[in-house]
Chain A
Amino acid sequence: MADTASIDHSTITSTSAKSAAGPRGKKPRPLFSSRNIMVYGVLIFAAAYYLLPLYVMVVTSLKGMPEIRLGNIFSPPMEITFEPWAKAWASACTGLNCEGLSRGFWNSVRITIPSTIVSIAIASVNGYALANWRFKGADLFFTILIVGAFIPYQVMIYPIVIVLREMGLYGSLTGLILVHTIFGMPILTLLFRNYFSALPEELFKAARIDGAGFWTIYFRIMLPMSLPIFVVAMILQVTGIWNDFLLGVVFTRPEYYPMTVQLNNIVNSVQGVKEYNINMAATILTGAVPLIVYFVSGRLFVRGIAAGAVKG
């Protein structure tokens, strides 16, 4: 026994002596290694490639028309002016109407908010029922919904026009909101169903044993754990509906045109000279909402995932 102990001891000292001389701790990595230069080079190039159009747009929107006519689209403005922005918002003309984009903006807000809320509310309950309650015919219902997701919009437009006309909703905001809600349903339901299916099934079982029913489990157990997926659904719907053009043109009258349609009308108006600075400003204004949604909720999204951890 004594023998083995002393042998162990000597092995320990010799290894520690060896490690003292060799590398230790954090491995040094030079900042300008060829690997770093490669990686960052590619990243910077890709970023620049995508940012360049935005740069041109911002720069152009801040120039006056005389300066634009000089033709150098990459040069920064010699004289910064915000007039194109103001004009794009408040007084750009589409045909006879010269109210700028502002009316389209408020229309889009009035379309996007209810459509997003209603579609998410319905789809989340659908997804929850499909994932956890396995009612009779659930599989058939789900299959039909998924098939619905693959039918091109264009095929459905004319039938929906007729349906809305019969309901007396054609041309109204309510009609368009209804259409957006329905078109969002398949993909959102799929999204929520998959998310709820991935939550531990035992939580649902525990809640049932605790006596909670359909709505209690939905509101008290499922909702608080589902912030991330609600944010994802919100991003999908807000950007999708805000950027929609086709449904907006087809299902509304000119006074209810969403911002995208109005942007198109401003940019494509044929009278007079093309005011590139106003067009650029109008385009950025129209794209601002989805952009802000991404920036704001992207952070919420990450926080939501971190807070949703169930197991340790």
Chain B
Amino acid sequence: MTSNSVSVRDLSLNFGAVTVLKTLNLDVRDGEFLVLLGSSGCGKSTLLNCIAGLLDVSDGQIFIKEKNVTWEEPKDRGIGMVFQSYALYPQMTVEGNLSFGLKVAKLPQSEIDKRVARAAEILQIQPLLKRKPSELSGGQRQRVAIGRALVRDVDVFLFDEPLSNLDAKLRSELRVEIKRLHQSLKNTMIYVTHDQIEALTLADRIAVMKSGVIQQLADPMTIYNFPENLFVAGFIGSPSMNFFRGEIADRGGRKVIAVNGVDFGMESYPARGPLETGRKVVLGVRPEHVKVDESVPGSEEHDAVVDIEEPMGADNLLWLKLAGQTMSVRIAGARRYAPGTALKLGFDMSMASVFDAVTENRV
């Protein structure tokens, strides 16, 4: 069993009468890259600030490296933090920014120099050491901010949307760099984002949050393919999963989901329990799990007409109508279908997700 690097036990946090986090539990393993993913205002930053010790918790405990740090000062928790707005001290040079914490901790100058040099080398910011933050580009600033966490030689890195202020190209560059950093340092990292690409590419595990509650905590592929509930299913994936509201029906001993007169066979769906006839459910199928003009074993074929075609290079996205509702299908970029073309759809039900319409949980 790997030990836990960060453990959050029954954590609650209120701002006055507003409850932002409700008895939240979370275990982050040693050396793990954990991503907190959720829409704006769901409490991701609040949770991170609690772990960092920047907010006093209302209830519950926080352990870092098996030590109860609930009442400890931020500096004594063995954490480094990187913020969305970089938060570099504007009046200090890059070197001053990197060494500030070490000077406050009264480390010997030789040790400070050594650590700053090492961080600068890892992040390739040696030529910038004498500059002020205002003389740096956004990407360089964020590198310095990461460096400031790096020099502190901490067990746990906390990132609060570090790439959100950068443009798309820099974002993907720095994303790779953060991943490389994690692979070489093997520190525990907790990374907040609302960008699902970042989450899926970086994470060992993703915690999807909604209004202060963790909805699902699993590795990216599980989150993507087997979402625990309707929220997670709809939140991850672009374009979003196709949802069909219907009910379980019995067609001569064969279980199907009936949606507006269209039947979806359930034989290959890995159901968790018996599905009673008449139960209201939501069928979710990702765009890439629908086949076009290709037979899928155990699935009926549905006729549809292409509404809009969105070629995206590697992929081609088709928008069409089925069972009275709009849906999207992802196919290889080379396969083109002009609007108005009739085609046959086959649903790969082994990769589908079915949720209870009332509880919204996976069945």
Residues of A within 8 A of B (CB): 200, 202-203, 205-212, 216, 220-221, 224-225, 308-312
Contacts and interface: CB of A to CB of B under 8 A. Distances in A.
A209 B90 contact: no
B89 A207 contact: yes
Interface in B108-166: 134, 136-138, 141, 145, 148, 152
Contacts of B49: 205
A203 B86 CA distance: 8
Given A209-B75, A209-B101, A224 B85 contact: no
A210 B148 contact: yes
Closest 10 CB pairs of A and B: A210-B101, A211-B75, A202-B87, A224-B91, A202-B83, A206-B87, A211-B104, A209-B74, A203-B87, A208-B74
Which applies to chain A's interface (DSSP): helix, strand, loop or mixed? Answer: helix
A206 B83 CA distance: 8
Nearest to A200: B85
A310 B90 contact: yes
A85 B229 CA distance: 87
Given A205-B83, A206-B81, A220-B100, A211 B89 contact: no
A206 B148 contact: yes
Contacts of B90: 224-225, 308-310
B141 A312 contact: yes
A212 B75 CA distance: 8
B99 to A, nearest CB: 10
Contacts of B148: 206, 210
Contact of B138 (A225, A308, A312): A312
B282 interface: no
Interface hub of B49, B52, B74, B88 (most chain A Cβ within 10 A): B74
Contact of A200 (B54, B79, B87): B87
B87 A216 contact: no
B125 to A, nearest CB: 16
A200 B138 CA distance: 16
B85 A311 contact: yes
Given A208-B54, A209-B101, A210-B101, A225 B91 contact: yes
B75 to A, nearest CB: 3
A47 to B, nearest CB: 37
Interface string B90-109: 11000000001100110000
Contacts of B38: none
Interface string B65-91: 000000001110001110111111111
Interface hub of A206, A207, A221 (most chain B Cβ within 10 A): A206
Contacts of B87: 200, 202-203, 205-206
Contacts of A310: 90
Contacts of B84: 202
Contacts of A200: 85, 87
28 contacts: A200-B85, A200-B87, A203-B89, A205-B83, A206-B89, A206-B145, A209-B54, A209-B74, A209-B75, A209-B80, A210-B75, A210-B104, A210-B148, A210-B152, A211-B74, A212-B101, A212-B104, A220-B89, A221-B89, A224-B90, A225-B91, A309-B90, A309-B134, A310-B90, A311-B86, A312-B134, A312-B138, A312-B141
